Structure 1
Amino acid sequence: MQPQSAAVADYLDHLAAAGFQGSPRYLGRDGAGRDVLTYLDGDVAADPPEPWVTDKGLLISVAELLRELHEASAGYAAARGFQAPQGSAWMQWPLPTDVDISLVPEPPAPELISHNDITPQNVVVRDGRAVALVDFDLAGPTSRLLEVWVTAKYWVPLRDPRDVWPTWGEVDQASRLRVFVDAYGLSTSERETLVEVGAEEAVRAWWRMRGAAEHLGGGWARMWSAGSGEAITRRRAWIERHADDLTRAMQSRPVKWCKSRSRSR
């Protein structure tokens, strides 16, 4: 059991009551105090993700599933300012002890509670479509635009091409971003500000990863030692270099696409 377990359980209960089919159901705790959830049948990506994860139809369905999650999450915890239920907490991101807080952009004002970690490894796929999400440990307050960016960051992916998984080969990042935001349904004004949201997220992510490595250790420390900080720095520079191109791509004529058959797993 983690510090955020009770908060996540409450959120999962809300999603179940809202009729959202894309999350596990919370069943309680076993005799050892471990959280017990329903099993969701399907495929999830490996690390690094396989080539089949690049399928454009799958990308579309991830954006649609994200929109459904946001609709199901609307209003949850709003009356308490998106705080966790009494006696529990959302995932807390510790900052490094030597941080200059003026260098860390404030996150957008929270609009809802959501998943916050929709990586290829956390999406259940059936017949080439995203049908459910797992691993809600990082759930907590966010904004719609921020989670659209964070999810696209993994699925487009929005990163320096040197850091795109070798298993994916070459991908048209601008075109895939347009496909993703079309499928989610971002407005024109939201498309104009999305890249700015992403640039600020990269700065926060660097400080948060460094802080997690310092204070939480474990997997966070291993990721930092393996170069996650350098990859985030490259991502930030790539976003800044291509900000105009990405924004133009989102505002151009709609991308035509056809659902392709999912690749063999």
Structure 2
Amino acid sequence: MNSPIYVESAEPHPEIPLVGGDVTEGVVRVGDTVRRPVGPNAPFVHALLRHLAEIEFDGAPRFLGIDAAGREVLTFVPGEVAGRPRPAWVADEERLASVGRLVRAYDDAVAGFVPPERVRSGFGLVERPDTPPAPPYPPELVGHLDYTPDNIVFRDGQAAALIDFDLARPATRVEEIMNAMLYWAPLGDPADADPPLRDVDAPRRCRILADAYGMSDVDRSRLVEVAVMRTRRAWFSMKQIAEEKGGGWARMWDEGVGDEIKRREAWLDRNGAAIEAALTAP
């Protein structure tokens, strides 16, 4: 499916750099639009955003086409995003619950999405044979799978919209909410957490997200298993992407993300029982 050519407005606007995120560079705001480099997963993402527009899901930007510079053009989503250093409000439990509700609203919105024929998610990588197995549960929907504080737009203290769908791919609901917990509980060694989240009760925050999402009993029982399996895979996949794609991925690897993943795995081994108890308690 060919992407439409974006027709610029007659009124010129300056390009204002938008900072945030770890990988994508060259993102700018132009008037009421955002311009981003076209990534390897773009055809799939564009089809997904068209679906969200068609069903009038208001928690995502609209894809408008490709500009003369070859960049994808999206509507600018107004609101508040947690930059770096992280604001204290990332620890606020009311905001946390709103993240769970937004993830659920998105997952429900994409439950009926069927990608067009010959359009599949992918990043141009062939999985290496030594990569540990994925969780043994079939995908249920197309997940966003990148719920970092940089990618959630808040309005009036509530999570209102998602941005940056570059990692969208088939997933389970438990993988979706686990990904949100990864950044917002957070799941990992406190030494690696953003300062406002270093002393929080992570199992309690997992429960808040799970309740706000409406997580099923079956998924609650699978959460720790999925988190451990995804963490084990993450070390291998991040190393491969860093080696084959370079750029921001290589920078993250050089800055120690592999060691951080190993610390997360050890932390999950120590705290998995407490997380499962918090998720399944009456």
- C-alpha distance in 1 between matches for 2:81 and 2:106: 18
List, as ranges, runs of 4+ consecutive aligned residues in structure 1 with deviation greater than 3 Å. 84-89, 93-97, 103-108
1:95–1:207 Cα contact (<8 Å) kept: no
**Which residue of 64, 75, 83 maps to 1:46?**
83
* TM-score, with structure 2 as normaliser: 0.82
Aligned-pair Cα RMSD in Å: 1.8
**Which residue of 192, 195, 199 maps to 1:170?**
199
Displacement, 1:196? 0.5
SS at match of 2:94: helix
**Equivalent residue runs for 1:83-102 within 5 Å:** 85-86=116-117, 88-92=119-123, 94=125, 99-101=129-131
Displacement, 1:93? 7.0
Query: Deviation string for 1:189-212 (max 9, x for gaps)?
Result: 221111101110101111110011
**Which residue of 38, 45, 53 maps to 1:8?**
45
Is 1:207 paired with 2:236? yes
Displacement, 1:89? 4.2
**Equivalent residue runs for 1:91-240 within 5 Å:** 91-92=122-123, 94=125, 99-101=129-131, 103-105=132-134, 108-240=137-269
From the superposition, tell whether residues 234 and 93 of structure 1 become closer, same or farther in structure 2 (CA, over 3 Å): farther
Give the percent of matched residue pairs that are identical in Structure 1 and Structure 2: 43
Q: Which has the higher helix share?
A: 1
- Gapped regions of structure 2 (runs ≥ 5): 1-37
- Gapped regions of structure 1 (runs ≥ 5): 78-83, 254-265
Query: Deviation string for 1:154-207 (max 9, x for gaps)?
Result: 011111111111243411111111111011111222211111011101011111
From the superposition, tell whether residues 8 and 100 of structure 1 become closer, same or farther in structure 2 (CA, over 3 Å): same
Is 1:26 paired with 2:63? yes
SS at match of 2:146: coil
Query: Deviation string for 1:191-240 (max 9, x for gaps)?
Result: 11111011101011111100111100010000001010000011011111
Structure 2 counterpart of 1:72, one-letter code: A
Displacement, 1:243? 1.2
* TM-score, with structure 1 as normaliser: 0.87
Aligned length in residues: 245
**Equivalent residue runs for 1:50-69 within 5 Å:** 50-69=87-106
2:191–2:198 Cα contact (<8 Å) kept: no
- C-alpha distance in 1 between matches for 2:58 and 2:101: 13
Displacement, 1:142? 0.9
Counterpart of 1:35 in structure 2 is 72
1:4–1:137 Cα contact (<8 Å) kept: yes
- C-alpha distance in 2 between matches for 1:141 and 1:169: 31
